[in-house]
Amino acid sequence: MANLKMDQSRRLSAVIFFLATFLPAQGGAAEGQALAWMNSAIPPEQRAALLVGAMTLDEKIEQIALNTAANPGLSGCGLRRDTRHIEGIPRLAIPTLRLTNGPTGVAGGDCNPNPPTTAVPTALAAAATWDAGATFRWGEIAGVETRNIAHHVFLAPGMNLGRVAQAGRNFEYFGEDPFLSGVMAVQQVKAVQSHGIQANVKHFVANEQETERSSMNTVVDDRTLHELYLLPFEMSIKDANPASVMCSYPRIGGVFACESKHLLTDVLRNQWGFQGYVISDRKATNSTVASIKAGLDLELDNTATWFTPAKIKAALAAGEITVADIDNMLKRRFAPMFRLGQFDNPIHDFTPVDFAAHAETSRLIAEEGSVLLKNQDGMLPLTASSLRSIALIGAATFAGAAKLPATGPKGIITVNSARSVTPLQGLNSALKALGSSAAVTFDDGTDLARAKALAEKSDVAIVMAGDISLEGEDRANLSLPVVDGVNQEALIAAVAAANPHTVVVLKDGGPVLMPWLSRVGAVLEAWYPGQEDGIAVANLLFGVVNPSGRLPITFPMAEKDGAIRSAEQWPGVMIGGVRTTTYTEGLQMGYRWYEAHGTAPQFSFGYGLSYTTFSMSQLRATKSADGTKPIQVQFVVQNTGTRAGSNVPQVYLGLPASTGEPQRLVAFQKVSLDPGEKKRIEINIDPDASNHPLGYWDSKSQKWSIADGEYQIRVGDSAANTQLRATLTVRQ
């Protein structure tokens, strides 16, 4: 009898263990429950399924929207009113998930005030390096510092294209070309996630303007959508495996992006194999049932509007959604957290930021991404030893302080930089390092006569000017605006008239018009350089660093140059009470439009000067192919000048005429050479690569196709200057 009782006891214990370990918790599991999902030997997807199976319905609903509860366990972090976290569940070992903004550096997270971080150059400046390694280093700063401030999700990279030169957020993106954007985004995602931080690629998709972005309708044909606007997202999904995607504000073809089953499920998950979760842009969720059924997993808003307990439970009761829908939403979010170690190595509190190292990296990116646009008669670099006086002139925003990028509506989110270097500090520092005693005098440009007088008596005049690009609004035009009471156009004209040795340094978020271009000797495009502004620009002006940046976006000659020439295209017209923007230019966007119409821009996509000169020659390329094997392209680049420098050979491909395709960028490589040095560059173009270099999107079959016929391989240093040509014949 005793043995029988012992066997029954053992069997009962085994049953209790099984139930406690493997069955879902109902109304709250015991604190001693075994957390099977914390076994790191189990694949992330299985761990996510085990975790979701142990959650109560109320716990599940808590996890699909941000909440406004106090931010626990993070010292020195005052809670923002617009919270950016999902409260953790300690009994299930679910950590609190904190999100921080991204495209301009680590800021706008869950803490108030923002903890100190590094103010890096803009994404557009990073793209202007045409160096995947530079963008990776940018992403490393983001990943490390997101972890330093105890956050988990970095809301970047942004990959919307520079379709409209006036678009307010061009500075947050990588320019007008989908391939360049995709390459840069892939590196940034890889770098961020290498530090156990989630990258969030955004804004998916067709959000190329800020005007009425939250309610507008974008009309774009399916082929153009896939070949241009979806392509960088496809590249990032396939090549970098980001944890999450942010759906955008607009309607796409009449359906809000965050409730588009075609985009979020058919394309993103079924065509591309995306395994992560989809988060809405802030307040971009417009429904409960439609959004969930489309594939939206997390509502981003400081106060949930649609994914509230009441609305979710009502939809469940009505049979409009199921618990399985909620489970899938959570599995898709928890799996990347497991994959990146955010359960196994939880981020508990702040850790020190290596500000010195990150400042150095930020400076290098600012230098490498600056583009020398004009250099008449070799005015630059300035010879420090021969100068006695330098006039530094410009509105305080650009010439008096480091130009830090800002994001958020009206620019409310600025990185709380640990330091910044003003233009005056930078020039004086560079002069001292070069052994020069030249005096630098600053004038804020508010008195035109005074600024002109200073320029007249100085050896050289440096005018720093720019624009103010902001999230939430597009620029009214491409002219330099009045800033700090300074008419910048008039200021540049006056200074140039007073001193023939006038250099203009631009700090802007995208293309600007230059009616004064012929009157100045040199123009340096520095974008928004970030905290190291002063020293980076000074190093370039004095030749400590040789400029090597190239334009990631075309600079037009006039306001109406380029593809965007009608109100229907931008900012849209009212149709049925909704602002509707139609991409009637189709594939002819950016540099493709200029080629198709034989129009010369002010400065072309890919353009940039150096303090040395280069030549390209001896092009050899595959002559025939079957559309499956890599295409080989070889050529020689030589530094024909007297200084060491870097060039960016660019490979463009012209598809057969039957495809109706403009030329497209398919490869590039940054190469550094000493004076007289030459190097043979070898590039393989893989038809199976994620950017589909030989392909066109066949809307009828809903797949990429390769056409038989003649392809033209073009190699040069910009979209408008491809001096090396070869013909490739494809027969499948």
Instruction: Please list the active-site residues.
Output: 281
Q: How far apart are CA 431 and CA 539, in angstroms?
A: 9
CA-to-CA distance for 128 and 526, rounded, in angstroms?
10
637: DSSP letter: E
Whole-angstrom distance, CA of residue 665 vs CA of residue 176: 11
Q: Which run of H or E residues covers position 449?
A: helix 448-456
**Residue 504 and residue 544 in contact, taking contact as beta carbons nearer than 8 Å:** no
Query: Do 253 and 209 touch, CB atoms closer than 8 A?
Result: no
Helix, strand, coil percent content, the chain, rounded in steps of 5: 30, 25, 45
CA distances, 500 to each of 439, 442, 464, 543 (Å): 19, 18, 16, 20
Residues 6+ apart with CB under 8 A from 245: 200, 201, 202, 204, 233, 237, 268, 274, 276, 277, 278, 279
Q: Minimal CA–CA distance to 379: which of 500, 539, 521?
A: 521
Residue 423 near residue 400 (C-beta atoms within 8 A) = yes
CB neighbours of 159 closer than 8 A, spacing ≥ 6? 173, 174, 181, 182, 185, 201, 202, 232, 233, 236
**Residue 8 burial by CB count (10 A; 0-12/13-18/19+): exposed, middle or buried?**
exposed
Q: Quick count: other Cβ atoms within 10 Å of Cβ 319?
A: 7
Q: Is 309 helix (H, G, I), strand (E, B) or coil?
A: helix
Handedness of CA 204, 206, 208, 212 (dihedral sign): negative
Q: Report the distance separating Cα 403 and Cα 679, nearest Å.
A: 37
At 687, the amino acid letter reads P
As to burial, measured by CB atoms within 10 angstroms (0-12 exposed, 13-18 middle, 19+ buried), residue 5 is: exposed
Residue-wise burial string across 673-701, b where 16 or more C-beta atoms lie within 10 A, e elsewhere: beeeeebebebebbbebbbbbbbbbeeee
- Answer for the pair 630, 693: CB distance below 8 angstroms, yes or no: no
> For residues 164-199, b (16+ Cβ closer than 10 Å) or e, as one string?
bbbbbbbbbbbbbbbbbbbbbbbbbbbbbbebbbbb
Write down how long the chain is: 732
586 is written with which tokens?
A: 């189709």
DSSP per residue, 662-686: PPEEEEE--EEE-TT-EEEEEEEE-
- The secondary structure of 173-233 as a DSSP string is S--S-HHHHHHHHHHHHHHHHTTT-EEEEEEES-----TTTTT-EEE--HHHIIIIISHHH
